[in-house]
Structure 1
Amino acid sequence: MKRSEINAAIQYAKAIMIKHRFYLPKFAHYDLAEWKASSVCGRQEILQAHLGWDVTDFNLGNFTKCGLTLFTLRNQSPDNQKMYAEKIMVVQEQQITPMHYHWKKMEDIINRGGGDLMVRLYKRHPQTDLLDEEAELNVAIDGQYINLPAGGTVCLQPGQSICLPPMLYHSFWAEQGVVLAGEVSMANDDLTDNRFLEPLGRFSNIEEDEKPIHLLCSDYQQYL
């Protein structure tokens, strides 16, 4: 993914958040000079917990079709006692986050505003670790359980949320407009806790065609 694409995605996400009056912490707006000027002690938890911007095309090379822009607001680190995490995500219309599950993490995905957030679900087949195309599902939408067939799709309108337990395959995208989506979950580990149905990269390989306007959480080790 080109750095210019990442910069544009961040600018777009910031505009969507302003539209929905969702406010980010100050470090979300740091440029590289401000990062380097900040105290090491003051930013330690940010770095250790991988807080901050995250833009990915899953190394598929078509961000508009398959990608996601996220900002991690809080998460567990070696030095804190947090057992939880929170993210805010911008899901563009028809932009797919590929089918995946988490081995450990339970999460609520929330439509914070905009269009409809579409979530497709499958159980994991216990023998193959692939999609179970026959097993029905029972999932909670705002605390009320509903039954779905294998591969069923839930439409979350603004204000609605779904609870996804560990090892439940899910994919999502937006319809009828861009969605500002929230995630409240158990502690998040994007390095080891994502199992994608198709082999792909969680973090993009970056072509540095221009300077970053803001660092990604995956940039910290390189730049700081």
Structure 2
Amino acid sequence: MKRSTMNEIIDYTIEATKKYMLPLPPFATYSIEDWKNLEQDEREIVDNMLGWDITDFGSGDFNRIGLTIFTFRNGNFFDQDTYSKPYCEKLLFVRDGQILPFHFHWKKMEDIINRGGGDLEITLYNSKEDGSFDDSDVTVSLDGKYVTVKAGNKIVLHPGQSVTLKQGQYHQWQGVPGTGDIMLFEVSTTNDDRSDNRFYEAKERIPEVEEDVEPKYLIFNDYKDYVSFE
């Protein structure tokens, strides 16, 4: 993915958060110099992958298959003594018609919340031990009401609705075309996108970046190249 495209995606998302009156924390718009001069007292941002995250899941077509994420808070799988938060909160910004490919999580349980905009259609399967689709019925909690659907069937989240997805439950979603961009939120147990995603067919989760312009913003995978704690 080109850096210029990533800059444009984040600009677009920041403007959308203003429309939805969602203030972002200061580090959402840190300059490259801010990141290079980051002090130890902000190390949690880097260690716990807070901030921007963009992916096209290796599709090469972000507008069709992709997701823009901003992580507000998170714990840490690998350093729970330092970072004891057992929870995570994210903005998941879905463009009109955009698809998130089938995947599940081994460790994370999550609530997906439609905070406004269009409708979100989610296709569900349980998984087998070998990672394949199971043909059993899938039961999820929709705003505290248990709903059971056949394997491969869909649920729809209208603005204000949410679903709880447990470990091992495959889910694919799409913003229902024509209903608009969607301001999704995820509230979950601690998250690590480098180790806790099992995709059914999608390629890489973290994009390979073509540096055609200077970065205007960093995604979490850039931190290692710009942030150094002495």
Normalising to structure 2: TM-score of the pair? 0.93
Residue 191 of structure 1 corresponds to 194
Secondary structure of residue in 1 paired with 2:54? strand
Once residues 200 and 12 of structure 1 are traced to their aligned partners in structure 2, the CA distance between those partners, rounded to angstroms, is 25
Deviation at 1:131, TM superposition (A): 1.2
Deviation at 1:37, TM superposition (A): 3.0
Secondary structure of residue in 2 paired with 1:14? helix
Once residues 202 and 153 of structure 2 are traced to their aligned partners in structure 1, the CA distance between those partners, rounded to angstroms, is 23
**Are 2:5 and 1:5 equivalent residues in the alignment?**
yes
Deviation at 1:141, TM superposition (A): 0.3
Indicate if the aligned counterparts of 2:121 and 2:173 stay in contact, CA closer than 8 A: yes
Residues 13-69 of structure 1 show CA distances to partners (whole Å, capped at 9, x for unaligned) of 111111111111101110101222332x12210010010000111122110111100
Once residues 12 and 105 of structure 1 are traced to their aligned partners in structure 2, the CA distance between those partners, rounded to angstroms, is 29
Runs of 4+ in 1 over 2 A off after TM superposition: none
Normalising to structure 1: TM-score of the pair? 0.96
After superposition, the CA RMSD in angstroms is 1.1
Residue 168 of structure 2 corresponds to 167
**Are 2:48 and 1:35 equivalent residues in the alignment?**
no
Indicate if the aligned counterparts of 1:16 and 1:90 stay in contact, CA closer than 8 A: no
**Are 2:89 and 1:55 equivalent residues in the alignment?**
no
Once residues 56 and 203 of structure 1 are traced to their aligned partners in structure 2, the CA distance between those partners, rounded to angstroms, is 6
Residue 222 (structure 2) aligned to one of 198, 219, 222: 219
Alignment of 1:26-175 (within 5 A): 26-39=26-39, 41-77=40-76, 78=79, 79-126=82-129, 128-132=130-134, 134-175=135-176
Secondary structure of residue in 2 paired with 1:177? coil
Indicate if the aligned counterparts of 2:101 and 2:202 stay in contact, CA closer than 8 A: no
Once residues 93 and 60 of structure 1 are traced to their aligned partners in structure 2, the CA distance between those partners, rounded to angstroms, is 17
Number of aligned residue pairs: 221
1:207 partner amino acid: E
Secondary structure of residue in 2 paired with 1:123? strand
Deviation at 1:199, TM superposition (A): 4.8
Deviation at 1:89, TM superposition (A): 1.2
Once residues 111 and 59 of structure 2 are traced to their aligned partners in structure 1, the CA distance between those partners, rounded to angstroms, is 26
Residues 132-183 of structure 1 show CA distances to partners (whole Å, capped at 9, x for unaligned) of 2x31111100010111111111110111100000000001121211001000
Residue 201 of structure 1 corresponds to 204
- Percent identity over the alignment is 43
